[in-house]
Amino acid sequence: MLKSFYFYDMITSKLPNVGTTIFTVMSKMANDYHAINLSQGFPNFPIDEKLQSLLEQKTKENVHQYAPMAGLPALTEEICNLTFKHYKREIDASKNVLITAGATQAIFTTIQALIHPGDEVIILDPSYDCYESPIILAGGKPIRIPLGENFLPDWDLIREVTCSKTKIIITNNPHNPSGAVWKKEDLHELEHLVIDYPNLLVLSDEVYEYITFEHAHLSANSSEILKNRSIVVSSFGKTFHITGWKIGYIIAPENILNEIKKVHQFLVFCVNSPAQHTLAAYLKETNVNTLGSFYQEKRDYFHELMKNSRFDLLPSEGTYFQLASYKQISNENDIAFTKKLVVEHGVATIPLSVFNANGEDRKLIRFCFAKDNDTLKQAAEKLCKI
C-alpha cells in the first residue's frame, strides 16, 4: 500500500513565529461572548452620507476595469492637493504618489523593494504588527528597541543601534497603540539622524495623520530634510472611516518610488478602481480638518464616562486609541486580564504586551474609542463596575 504523503509535511515556514494575531483572537472572543468590542481599531458608525452616495453613483459608471498601475490620475492629483494644503509640500502626481491596498500593502511593498538580506531595520516598540514579517521575508534583520518616556522615541537608544547596516527606521506618528504624538524635537532628532547616516531611509507610518487633539501632526512631508529621505504612508481607511475598503497611498521621492512600483506591479498591479473613482470625487468635497475634533470629542466623552472606574487612563493625544493601566484592579498579566475582561465583564480590549518584541507586560490595555457614543457608554458602564 502506498504510504500517504502530504506535501505540507515538507514545508518549512518562512514565518515560524507568526500565529493568529491578537486582533483576530479578541474579535472572535468578543463575538463568542457577545462582548462589546473595543479591541480591533475600526469605527462602528456609518460612513459620511456624501461618500456613501458617491460610491453608489460611481458604481453605476464605467469604473469596473483595471485602474492604472500607480493609481487613478484623478485621485493622485487630489492627493497632491491635499498634501500641499496640509504640509505645503509640492509633489508630482505621476512621480511621487502610489495608491496601495491600504497602508499594510504600502509597508510590505516598500520593505520588499528596499531591504536586501542582512540589512537592518529599526522598529520602535510597542509597534503595530505589520512591520516585522515583511523584513524577515526580505531577509532583513528587525532591530526592535523600546520607545522612551511617554511612548516618544528614545533618540539616544536609536543612535546606539543605528549603524552602516541600518537601511530603514520605521516611525509611527501619531502612534498606535499609545496615542502619543511627536513633538518638534522628535522631528529635529530624526532630521539629524538621516543627515548623519546618508544611506538611512525613513518609513513614516502616518495613517492617523489627521487624528490629533492638543497638538498638530508633524509630518515627514513637512520637513525639507525628511521629505527627500522618507516613504510616507497614509490610509484612507483611517481618515474616512472605511477600513474595509483597504485603500491608502505612499508619497516618496521618484527614484525610491520607482523601486517600490516594481514590486507593487507584481503584488497587486493596481488597486480597487470603484474605490479610487469614489475617493477622487469625495476629496474635492470634503475637509479632513474636522476629523481631529470629531475624535477628540469621543476621547473626552470616554474619559468622562471612565472617571469613576479603577482604570487609570494615560494621555492620548492622537489616533483613536486609549491606553489604560489596570494595576489597581489586578496583578495578572495583560493577556490573562484582557481574556477575563471579555469572559467575565463583556468588554474586549487589546493587551499592550503583544506590541512588544520582548512581550513586556506593563499592566496596560488598549481601548479603541472609534465607536458610537452608545457603545462607549455601555462599555464604560461595565468597566466602571470592576
Ligand X SMILES: Cc1ncc(COP(=O)(O)O)c(C=O)c1O
For residue 253, say if its preceding peptide bond is cis, omega within 30 degrees of 0.
Answer: no
Name the grid cell of 357: 518584541
Q: Where are the beta strands (DSSP E) in 282-363?
A: 312-313, 321-325, 347-348, 350-351
* Type of residue at 124: L
Quick one: CA dihedral 60, 64, 67, 71, positive or negative? positive
Q: Which is nearer to ligand X, 70 or 305 (CB)?
A: 70
Does residue 251 belong to the site contacting ligand X (CB under 6 A)?
A: no
CA distance 215 to 57: 37
Binding to ligand X, residues 275-294 (CB under 6 A): none
DSSP code at position 205: E
Please identify, among the stretches 100-108, 111-119, 257-265, 373-381, the one whose residues bind ligand X according to the rule CB under 6 A. 100-108
Q: Which is nearer to ligand X, 271 or 380 (CB)?
A: 271
DSSP code at position 164: T
Q: Which is nearer to ligand X, 243 or 375 (CB)?
A: 243
Binding to ligand X, residues 110-149 (CB under 6 A): 128
Does residue 205 belong to the site contacting ligand X (CB under 6 A)?
A: yes
Please identify, among the stretches 96-104, 192-200, 276-284, 335-343, the one whose residues bind ligand X according to the rule CB under 6 A. 96-104
Q: Where are the beta strands (DSSP E) in the chain?
A: 36-37, 97-100, 120-125, 141-146, 166-172, 201-205, 230-235, 248-251, 312-313, 321-325, 347-348, 350-351, 364-368
Please identify, among the stretches 68-76, 85-93, 102-110, 371-379, the one whose residues bind ligand X according to the rule CB under 6 A. 102-110
Member of 43, 248, 292, 351 binding ligand X (CB under 6 A): 248
Residue keyed to cell 504612508: 233
Q: Which is nearer to ligand X, 43 or 140 (CB)?
A: 43
Binding mask 39-68 for ligand X (x = CB under 6 A): --x---------------------------
Please identify, among the stretches 101-109, 148-156, 217-225, 285-293, the one whose residues bind ligand X according to the rule CB under 6 A. 101-109
Q: Which is nearer to ligand X, 104 or 212 (CB)?
A: 104
DSSP code at position 207: T
What minimum distance in Å lies between the beta carbon of 237 and ligand X? Answer: 4
Identify any residues that bridge with 203 across adjacent strands, giving them in sequence order: 170, 231
Member of 39, 83, 104, 212 binding ligand X (CB under 6 A): 104
Binding to ligand X, residues 225-244 (CB under 6 A): 235, 237, 243
Spatial contact of 188 and 269, defined as CB atoms under 8 Å apart: no
Q: What's the maximum distance between 2 C-alpha atoms anywhere in the chain?
A: 73
Residues in contact with ligand X, counted by CB under 6 A, come to a total of 13
Please identify, among the stretches 99-107, 195-203, 297-305, 361-369, the one whose residues bind ligand X according to the rule CB under 6 A. 99-107
Does residue 102 belong to the site contacting ligand X (CB under 6 A)?
A: yes
Give, in degrees to the nearest 5, the angle at Cα 329 between 323 and 334.
Answer: 50
Binding to ligand X, residues 174-203 (CB under 6 A): 176
Interaction site with ligand X (CB under 6 A)? 41, 102-104, 128, 172, 176, 205, 207, 235, 237, 243, 248
